[in-house]
Amino acid sequence: MNDKILGLLGICRRAGKLTVGNDAVIENVQNGKARLVIVSNDISLNTEKKLKNACASANTELLKLNRTRDELSDALGKFCAVVAVCDDGFSKKLISLIQNETGGKCL
């Protein structure tokens, strides 16, 4: 499978510009490092609500991927359902790719 979004997230992680995991993502949102937060389509409602609140207060974009946590985890080599992109270039490209894909939605 040739998945541009998951491939770019993998590159972003290898470049050290991706934060993985709910607590670390919320911390990066609050301290202004996160440019974009991406969640899998099967996260819990409680986690989604916490992330929405954190992102809204910090004016950080939050997008839901049309991928499961297992697909996201496989692409990144680490179990996760929530990631934060901490780079302007990567975040702009990912926003474009996700919003152009039919399942990618803004939360």
Counted domains in the chain: 1
- CATH number of the domain bearing residue 33: 3.30.1330.30
Range of the domain at 96: 4-106
Q: What is the pLDDT of residues 11-70, one digit of tens each?
A: 999 999 999 999 999 999 999 999 999 999 999 999 999 999 999 999 999 999 989 999
What residues contact 46, with CB distance under 8 A and at least 6 apart? Answer: none
pLDDT for res 38: 96
| Residue 33 in tokens | 């490092």
Return d(Cα 61, Cα 65) in angstroms, integer. Answer: 13
Amino acid identity of residue 99, one-letter, is: Q
